[in-house]
Amino acid sequence: MSASGFNIFSFSGKMKILHLSWFAFFLTFVVWFNLAPMLGAIKESLGLTKPQITTLLILNVALTIPARIIIGMLTDQYGPRKVYSALLILASIPCFVFAVAENFTQLALARFALGFIGAGFVIGIRMVSEWFPANELGTAEGIYGGWGNFGSAAAAFTLPTIALWFGGADGWRWAVGLTGALSLVFGFIYYASVQDVPKGSKYFKPKNATAMEVTSKGDLYFLLIMKVPLYIALGALAWRLKNVDIFTPMTTNVVYFGLLLLYAYDAMLAVRANRTVFTEEVPEFQRYKFKQVAILNILYFATFGSELAVVSMLPLFFAETFDLSPVVAGMVASAYAFMNLMSRPGGGLISDRFGRKKTLLILTAGLAVGYALMGIVDASWPVWLAVVAAMACSFFVQAGEGAVFAVVPLIKRSLTGQIAGMTGAYGNVGAVIYLIIYSVVDASTFFLVIAGTAVIGFLALLLLEEPSGEIAEVDEDGSVTMIKVS
């Protein structure tokens, strides 16, 4: 895979930054997903119940939604080098705590804290956008996302083997602890090896670090509306914990009220950060349209949200539909995750070559058709044909993710972290909503619901404006820099 000035085998300049950044993302996903392949051993070692296992899985994703928003803001304010390094180093602490935990409470607290490392993806989006020109950005972001995202599959394949190698009931502790050690060490390596921008370039920061800046009153109201689903998803997680008898009705109501207060506070910060839109007009050359962000949020809800949900249920789907053993079903279903290595970079590459909007329209249409096809898979199909259908579907899902993040850095450079954070959070919102739907419907209906949301995404895409020309960034001294986006 190469383009003008784009040599994937190089390890200098911008390519060095890309390789170090995707590996940092890879490690965050290894740590974040080190729970699932170890669940059986952890359950046996500490005598956990099924509701406790379910709780750990929910806690693993609970903090990631707000974390992506927070990490996006920190990245824009302090730079990806500092924030990525700090995240890798600090996340090793709850990882080590989880590895030495002796009871469910310790496991739960450590797992809840580890949800924060799932936000690491956002940081590299800003880093890569600073180093690559617009005509290579989709490919670079696709490689970053696709290869880094493979960390979840790498954890599933390697950690059980590592646990067996150490042997005994505590083998899982060594495997989990090793991922924390890798995160800790690479945090220091990353800090020593990268820079936020190429030499001679300026790192632009937002004027306000507490909320996303918008450039019109209408966009401010739109931003407040788009924040609502983030809190609904967190409320849905509390509802799931109540359904498995972890939360009492009283606890759940307290969480609901707390989320309501948190949204009110979040909305107040957004209004305060953008109060000038009520009194003065933002110069035309500095404006961006928040609808661009909202559309990307919807698309990532349908793409990454569905990927996280489908990866969770696909082994069981194949096992029950085709009467396969758990091991064989897991191997067959892994084809879906393996597509990430090429599909996401492919989506970015296609976006660079043929245009952002056109690529997203084609991939979203393919996504809808792919999931509609999965919705009619049944026991009458040959297993190989069902696997082909799943892999074809996963191509459109993951290529769509790559195409979404080929657009994110082209909206407003100084807000890239926050835009990536909000878009990434919507992916997690999608996963929560889809998994809740899966808990109350059959697999066929589940796939058809995802296809329906992809159709909604396609309709929203018709309103997307192709990034073109230049975007203006204003420095702290008032000077204006124009950044080419096409």
Residue 403 in domain: no
Q: Which of 184, 175, 186, 167 is nearest to 100 (CA)?
A: 175
* Separation in Å, CA 313 to CA 247, 347, 437: 24, 24, 12
pTM, full prediction = 0.91
Are 146 and 69 part of one and the same domain?
Answer: yes
Tell me: do 16 and 58 sit in the same domain. yes
The one-digit pLDDT tens for each residue of the chain (486 residues) are: 444 467 888 999 999 999 999 999 999 999 998 988 888 889 889 998 878 887 888 888 888 999 999 999 999 999 999 999 999 999 999 999 999 999 998 999 999 999 999 999 999 999 999 999 989 999 999 999 999 988 888 888 888 889 888 877 789 999 999 999 999 999 999 999 999 999 988 899 988 878 999 999 999 999 999 999 999 999 998 998 888 777 899 999 999 999 999 999 999 999 999 999 999 888 887 889 999 999 999 999 999 999 988 887 888 888 889 988 877 777 777 777 778 888 999 999 999 999 999 999 999 999 999 999 999 999 999 999 998 999 999 999 999 999 999 999 999 988 999 999 999 999 999 988 998 888 888 999 999 999 999 999 999 999 999 988 777 676 665 666 777 776
- 132/184 same-domain check: yes
Residues 153 and 235 occupy one common structural domain = no
Q: Count the Cβ atoms, other than its own, within 10 Å of residue 142.
A: 30
3-state secondary structure of 474: strand
Q: Is 209 helix (H, G, I), strand (E, B) or coil?
A: coil
Together in a domain, 84 and 185: yes
Q: Which of 268, 286, 304 is the last residue of a domain?
A: 286
3-state secondary structure of 83: helix
Instruction: Note whether 257 and 111 are same-domain residues.
Output: no
Distance of alpha carbon 82 from alpha carbon 391, whole angstroms: 37
Domain assignment present for residue 124? The answer is yes
Residue 63 lies in a domain: yes
Is residue 444 in some structural domain?
A: no
Same domain membership, residue 123 and residue 198:
yes
Examine the fold and report which residue of 238, 254, 286 is the final residue of a domain before the chain moves on: 286
Q: Let me know the angle formed at the C-alpha of 258 by 254 and 263, rounded to the nearest 5 degrees.
A: 150
Q: Is residue 297 a part of any domain in this protein? A: no
Q: Exposed, middle or buried, 245 (CB in 10 Å: 0-12/13-18/19+)?
A: exposed
Q: Which CATH number does the domain housing residue 143 bear?
A: 1.20.1250.20
Contacts of 341 (CB under 8 A, 6+ apart): 146, 147, 150
Do both 116 and 192 map to the same domain? yes
Last residue of a domain, one of 265, 286, 307: 286
CA distances from 173 to 23, 34, 148, 155 (A): 23, 11, 24, 14
Q: Which of 351, 350, 317 is nearest to 332 (CA)?
A: 317
Q: Domain containing 252: what range?
A: 217-286
223 shares a domain with 188: no
Judge if 88 and 186 occupy the same domain.
yes
- Whether 90 is in a domain gets the answer yes
Residues 282 and 163 in one domain: no
DSSP 469: S
The conformation of residue 466, written as its DSSP 8-state character, comes to P
276 in the same domain as 250: yes
Mapping DSSP to helix (H, G, I), strand (E, B) and coil, where does residue 193 land?
Answer: helix
| Domains held by the chain: number | 2
Residue 279 counted as domain residue: yes
Q: Give 219: exposed, middle or buried? Use CB within 10 Å, 0-12, 13-18, 19+.
A: buried
In a domain, 360, yes or no: no
